Amino acid sequence: MNFGHALAHLRDGQKVTRDGWNGKGMWLALQAPDQHSKMSRPYIYMSTVDGDLVPWVASQSDLLADDWRLA
């Protein structure tokens, strides 16, 4: 699927990943802030190969890729 479809799945609360990523087990999710959050707007975060959760920003390659799938 393309990134537009992946984003729709993120908005539905699902996790997505790319076949083209070198690290296995990496995925993205969307976080919607609540009253206890320091953030005030939704943001996308990644689970790294090590299982760390970090903010994620798309690259040009990510945005144009067609190898997105549900994680």
3 state SS for 19-65: CCCCCCCCEEEEECCCCCCCCCCCEEEEECCCCCEEECCCCHHHHHC
DSSP H or E stretch at residue 8? helix 3-11
Q: What is the total residue count of the chain?
A: 71
Q: Is 23 a residue whose pLDDT tops 90?
A: no
pTM over 0.95: no
According to DSSP, residue 70 is labeled: E
- How far apart CA 63 and CA 55 sit, in angstroms, is 16
Give the pLDDT confidence of 24-44 residue by residue, as tens digits.
Answer: 899 999 999 988 988 899 999
